[in-house]
Amino acid sequence: MIEEESYRLKVLYVEDDESTQEEVINYLKRRHYQVLTEGNGRLGLELYYEKKPDIVVSDIRMPEMDGLQMLSAIRKDNPQIPTIVMTAFNDVGYLHEAITLGVDGYVLKPINLQIMLETVEKCSQHVLARRNLAAHQREREKLIEELNEALEKVQVLKGIIPICCNCKKIRDDQGYWDQVEAYISKHSEARFSHGICPDCVKKIYPEFED
C-alpha cells in the first residue's frame, strides 16, 4: 500500500447512484484520498476542468452525459491522467469502448470496495512515479543551469603568455603591459595577498635578516 503521507491525491468520482457514491467516497477518504464527486458526466467534466484531479473514476451509464463521453473529453485535455470505469456484467459493449479509450482500470458492479481501492492505488503509483520523475528532471535542469553559470564565471589562463624578462610585466591582447598581479586578476578568479620572501628580506632589509 502506498504510504499515507505520499498520496493526498485528488480523485474525481462520478456516480449517479447516491448510495454507492456515499459508500465509495467514505471508503476512499478513510484512505486519505481527496474525493471530488458529481452525479453525471456533464457536471463531472465541469468539475474536472475546475479542480484538475489526479485520477478519474466514473460509472459508465449516467444521465445527461455518460461516463465514456466524459472520459473521452478528459483524455483529450490530459492524455496521461489515469482513468477507471465502473461497469455492470451486462455492459460488455461499453467495456470494449472503454478499452478503446485506453482506460487504466475497471471495477465491476456491485462495487467491491477492496478491489476499488487496489485499482485506485495502482493508478496512484503511476501518478507519483511521474511526479517524482518530473521533480528529478527539474532538479537536473537546475543543476545543469547552475553548472553552466559557474563555467561562465571561470576564467582560465592558457596558451603562451608574453612576459618581460626584466620587470616581469605581461603584455595583454591590446598591447598594454600589466603587472603580473593585475594580469592574473583579469584572467582568473585568483586574488593576491602580499608578503616578502626570505631572499628578498636578505637583499632589501639585511638588518632584519635574523
Q: What is the CATH number of the domain that holds 103?
A: 3.40.50.2300
Domain boundary among 86, 104, 139: 139
If asked whether residues 56 and 102 sit together in one domain, one would say: yes
In a domain, 150, yes or no: no
Which grid coordinates belong to 200? Answer: 628578498
Do residue 119 and residue 201 come from a single domain?
no
Q: Is the same domain home to 107 and 202? A: no
C-alpha cell at 154: 571561470
pLDDT tens track for 146-197: 888 776 655 555 666 777 777 778 787 777 888 877 777 776 766 767 777 7
Give residue-wise pLDDT tens across range 111-153.
999 999 999 999 999 999 988 898 889 999 988 888 887 766 5
Q: pLDDT tier at 6 (50, 70, 90 boundaries)?
A: very low
Half-sphere exposure (CA, 13 Å, Cβ side) for 79?
0
| Percentage of the chain lying above the pLDDT 70 cut | 83
pLDDT of residue 210: 59
Residues 126, 96 contacting (CB under 8 angstroms) = no
Apex 63 CA angle, 66 and 21, nearest 5: 85
Shared domain check, 95 and 41: yes
Q: Is residue 144 part of a domain?
A: no
Degrees, nearest 5: CA angle 29-35-36 = 155
Angle at 181 between CA 175 and CA 186, to 5 degrees: 60
Whether 112 maps to a domain, the answer reads yes
Same domain flag for 21 and 90? yes
Tell me which residue range forms the domain holding 78. Answer: 4-139
Give the least confident one: 32-41, 69-78, 88-97: 88-97
CA distance 200 to 161: 25
Residues 60 and 112 in one domain: yes
With beta carbons less than 8 A apart as the criterion, state whether 70 and 59 touch: no
Number of domains comprising the chain: 2
pLDDT score of 9: 92
Same domain, 8 and 87: yes
User: Does residue 90 register a pLDDT over 70?
Assistant: no
Residue 73 has what pLDDT?
A: 95
What is the pLDDT at residue 2?
45
Domain-ending residue, one of 90, 105, 139: 139
Residue 147 falls within a domain, yes or no? Answer: no
Residue 1 pLDDT: 43
- Residue 106: phi and psi, rounded to 5, are -140, 150
